[in-house]
Amino acid sequence: MSEKDRRGFTAEQIDGIRAGIRKREAATDRAGFRGLDRVEITVLEGLEYEARNPHETGVMRVGEPVDRGGLGVGSSPLSLVLAGATSCLMNQFIRSSVADDIPVRITGASAKGEFSRVVGGGFERITVELRGEGALSPDAARAYVEKAEQLCYIHVTLRRAVRMTTILILDGEERARSVTGPEA
């Protein structure tokens, strides 16, 4: 079994992460050559669904709470939006720290989404707080946040319509904050 580094990655995983980041950094957007992903959703019962990407092994259980007519079994669609946006951004923080030897270990994240409940309303602000361990100068922390945001497809998409705030907390102290999107 391969040894893991302080962040929990094997040498093979680190090589794969570095290669993936470098490939993204060198990529150009050619007409007709785009990324594509898909999810298939099956109704299980009422407002309870099972979602899966046909190219992945995982299954997502989607549902509504009992007070909104669901069974209270699956995660709500709003929770899944926040989880997807937050986990995508957290992946990029972790991948960047590995690829660029940034002395940070991300340990978790939380997200808060503010939205309008009126018909036609939507998310207005999303704040993602990433927690970790390590020391970075203020300039290095800002660059780290900027790179992770740029690499995150979901963050880049959402900030076109939603005010996005990213907060990096290392060793219990806020080290960087980024606000992007409308009215930023």
What confidence tier does 2 reach under pLDDT thresholds 50, 70, 90?
A: confident
DSSP letter at 67 equals G
- Positive or negative CA dihedral for 156, 157, 158, 161? positive
Q: In Å, what is the CA distance from 11 to each residue of 4, 19, 22?
A: 7, 12, 16
Burial of 140 (0-12, 13-18, 19+ CB in 10 A): middle
Instruction: Calculate Rg over the CA atoms of the chain.
Output: 18
Mean pLDDT value of segment 160-173: 97
Taking the chain, what is the end-to-end CA distance rounded to the nearest angstrom? 48
Mean pLDDT of 9-23: 92
CATH classification code of 76-180: 3.30.300.20
Q: Mean pLDDT over all residues of the chain?
A: 93
Determine the average pLDDT of the residues in 131-157. Answer: 97
pTM of the predicted structure, to 2 decimals: 0.90
Contact status, residue 15 vs residue 98, Cβ threshold 8 Å: no
Euclidean distance between CA atoms 136 and 56, whole angstroms: 36
| 125-136 pLDDT per residue, tens | 999 999 999 999
